[in-house]
Amino acid sequence: MAIERTLSIIKPDATRRNITGLITARLEAAGLRSIAQRRFFMTRQQAEKFYAVHAERAFFDDLCDFMASGPVLVQVLEGENAIARNREVMGATNPANADEGTIRKEFGESIEANSAHGSDSPENAAIEIAFFFSELDIVG
């Protein structure tokens, strides 16, 4: 297995409930190391660009409004198989379908407000990390 990097976003529903530490603890317990962090308000334009792949979906406008509705905590995670590992610990997109013990099952409020994002492939991880961080921000 390879050491990988992936992009994690703790979404506005979770920053609002002050559970960024709880969620990050789950990521750390899964062997993922947070090697860069930024907490900020994502603009709607940034959300539209970040989720451009979903632009044609019915939920796109609501999703972009939601992502710009409060602060996010964006992190680069590093570890063995980090991309798949992060998605395993997050659980299924819809918290109602997520396995017990996953972040989305435990903390997600709805299919939209599901507390966490994780890159879905090495290609997208590289694109998403570069969208928010410069190499100088990442301290492994």
Residue ranges binding ligand ADP (CB under 6 A): 54, 59, 63, 93, 111-112, 114, 117, 120
Q: Helices 20-29 and 82-90: crossing angle, nearest 10°?
A: 130
CB 66 → ligand ADP: shortest distance, Å?
A: 7
| Cα distance between residue 134 and residue 41, in whole Å | 18
CB 93 → ligand ADP: shortest distance, Å?
A: 3
Question: Where on the chain is the footprint of Mg ion (CB under 5 A)?
Answer: 120
Nearest residue (CB) to ligand ADP, 49 versus 137: 49
Q: Which residues pair with 40 in a beta bridge?
A: 72
The amino acid that residue 83 corresponds to is: I
Contact at 8 Å (CB) between 104 and 116? yes
Nearest residue (CB) to Mg ion, 106 versus 120: 120
